[in-house]
Each structure stands twice: as structure tokens, then as C-alpha cells.
Amino acid sequence: MAGPAEAQKLVYLVTGGCGFLGEHVVRMLLQQEPQLCELRVFDLHLSPWLEELKTGTQNVIEACVQSGTRYLVYTSSMEALGPNAKGHPFYRGNEDTPYEVVHKHPYPCSKALAEKLVLEANGRKVCGGLPLVTCALRPTGIYGEGHQIMRDFYHQGLRLGGRLFRAIPASVEHGRVYVGNVAWMHVLAARELRQQAALLGGQVYFCYDQSPYLSYEDFNMEFLGPCGVRLVGTHPLLPYWVLLILAVFNALLQWLLRPLLLYAPLLNPYTLAMANTTFTVSTNKAQRHFGYKPLFSWEESRTRTIHWVQAMESASVAHPSRS
């Protein structure tokens, strides 16, 4: 997300503005940015592979330089840091907590490289001679209205008679953040980047709220449970090695089918390792630097997400062939 320097006439460009987070950022700007003069939305469905994402980020930086756009807020991810490929836990860490970054999967590799490009571009001269000011936001696992993975889990539960089977130990914790609060942090960061360039420029911020630390499955049940889906088992019903075999099989099948069709299984070696590794953040850096506080409480975030799932439930009843 980028915006020019004039404080009284702000023009925002939201790249990926038609995606899950992008749509929420667009709505948040329309609702919460009183100095907004013009809002431009750009979206292009690119392949998620490493070089294309890296090139896309470099193109955004070059566009800022050539057009004289001085402020760039990059949507990174906690996955730019971890969980790493070695499965090291990250427990209530912050931006300064030491952690070995070891990635093999294209998505975290691309996020880490793109984030590096954005932060290194801070201070680069743009058209007109003034410096580019950049920062990066690292959301933890995002949830909320429009979340495709939660939609997939819900429909899977319906197909299994209202049941999902536990695959991850309940002791594994993850930090999750409501999409509305992620969008709100973007608006605040873009606003304060203009006012406090020396403080925010070149910085990275974890993006989270007061959502509880739970395993992915237990967290999802906070929303799916009230909608008639129950989680079966207090312990994983299948041992890890069986899940790993299935994950590797899915990855192989995805590779074989890639020339013919897009096959994106929920379970693959990367998602299995990530789900089985504790990764939680606890930091107030964003609050200290630009006054971030969640706009939506956990109770409101939960209620909004439940209502969205219930709307899917109503649509499934009205159109059973779509489930």
C-alpha cells in the first residue's frame, strides 16, 4: 500500500485490493481515513512461486521511485520469520527475539525476500529527489469474513456430517489476528509513516490483537462450533508420520497435476510443519511507534466471523449442490 506525501490530498494505491485482506484494507480506508482524496485498487492474480512474487515487489518499488510516491507499507507475514523448517518454537516473541530463519517452501521464502527488498529500499531517492519511506507489517494467521481456509474447513465439516477430526495436538499454540485489525494497522501505519518517517522507516512490525493463543483447530472451532461443527478427539487420531505420508503424497500429486489443473490441498509438508509448531507473538512495538490498538475486540471479531460462517450455512442450505 502506498500513498504520496501531500497531507491534505491523499491518494492511496492498494495492490492486491480484491483479495481477502485487500478488500478489508479498502473498506477501512474508506471508513477511517478522513484525508482520503482518491483510492486506486490494483489486483493481478499471480502465481505464488518465488521469483514472480519477488519480481512483483521489485516492480512496486520501482513504480514508487518513478512516480515520486514516497510512502510504502508492505504486507509481509509472520511466515517471513517462521515457523522455520526445523520446527523451532517461537513463544511470545517480538521483533527483536532471536530466531533462526530457515525456509524451504516457496511462500515463506518469497515473503522473506520481498520484505528484505522493501526494507532495503527505505531511504532510496524517488522522482523529485526526496527519500522513499518504507515499513513492513507481519500479520500472524489472519482470520475473519472471507477467509478461504476457514471456508474450506467448514465445508469439509459439512461433508463429514458436522465433524472434523483432530490432527494437531491441542498444546501447539498459534497467534491469530482478525482481518479488520490487520486492515486498521495498515491505515495507521500509512498515516504515521508520513508524520514519523525517521521512526517508522525501515522497520518491521508484528500485527496481532487479543485473539486467544490456541491450536489452529481449536481456534477455528471458536467459529465453527457455534455453527454445528464439532471437533472429534482430544488427541490426534492419526500419528504424525501417517499425516506426513499423506502430506508428501498431496505435494507429489500437486506437482504431477500442475500442467493440467490447479490442485491446492490443505495438507502438505509445509502446512503440516507449520500447524505442528508453536508460534506466538507478544509485542507492543506498533503501539509504541504509531499508536496501534485493535479496533475490534476479540468478542466483536468472534461475533463477526461467526455471523459470516452462519451466512455460509444459510447459503449451503439454500443451494445444497454448492457445498
DSSP string, 207-230: E--S---B-HHHHHHHHHGGGT-E
Average pLDDT for 288-306: 96
Of residues 104 and 40, more confidence is placed in 104
pTM, rounded to two decimals: 0.85
Residue 194: closest CA among 69, 77, 284, 27: 69
Is pLDDT above 90 for 38? no
pLDDT (0 to 100) of residue 315: 62
Torsion on CA atoms 22, 118, 73, 20, rounded to nearest 10: 10
Which position among 74, 107, 213, 216 bears the catalytic label? 107
Q: Which residue has the higher pLDDT, 313 or 284?
A: 284
Whether 270 is a known active-site residue: answer no
Cβ(165)–Cβ(221) under 8 Å? no
- What is the greatest pairwise CA distance in the chain? 62
CATH level 3 topology of 2-322: Rossmann fold (3.40.50)
* Secondary structure E strands in 9-162: 10-15, 36-42, 71-75, 90-93, 133-139, 141-143
Better pLDDT: 316 or 25? 25
Better pLDDT: 11 or 308 = 308
Q: How far apart are the first and last CA of the chain?
A: 35
Q: In this structure, what C-alpha cell is assigned to residue 155? A: 465445508
Closest CA to 72 of 89, 90, 55, 59: 59
Looking at residue 320, its pLDDT comes to 56
